[in-house]
């Protein structure tokens, strides 16, 4: 009965760098969507393939063990030095 009352402790996955294959997945998705959009002529907005590739990159980051807040901080943190030029 005591075992049933215990809360399950979630094991936090330690982040690891993506492999080369995992790093190329969002790039391949982006190029595939852009080329197929041009060849087939879906007429989709040009920013939609980028949004989909960003979502795929987020999924790859989650698989590698990164939290969403860490990915968001990294995305906004890398552009911080360039804000003065805008």
Q: Which residues, other chains included, contact 56 with Cβ-Cβ below 8 Å and sequence gap of 6+?
A: 25, 26, 29
Q: What is the pTM of this model?
A: 0.71
Placement of tokens 């809360």 in the chain: 7
Q: What is the pLDDT of residues 19-78, one digit of tens each?
A: 999 999 999 999 998 888 888 877 767 788 889 999 999 999 999 999 999 888 888 777
């Amino acid at each position: 009965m005591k075992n049933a009352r215990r809360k399950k402790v979630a094991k936090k996955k330690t982040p690891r760098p993506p492999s080369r294959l995992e790093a190329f997945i969002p790039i391949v998705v982006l190029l595939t969507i852009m080329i197929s959009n041009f060849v087939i002529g879906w007429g989709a907005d040009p920013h939609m393939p980028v949004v989909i590739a960003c979502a795929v990159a987020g999924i790859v980051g989650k698989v590698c063990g990164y939290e969403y807040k860490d990915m968001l901080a990294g995305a906004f943190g890398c552009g911080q030095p360039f804000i003065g030029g805008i």
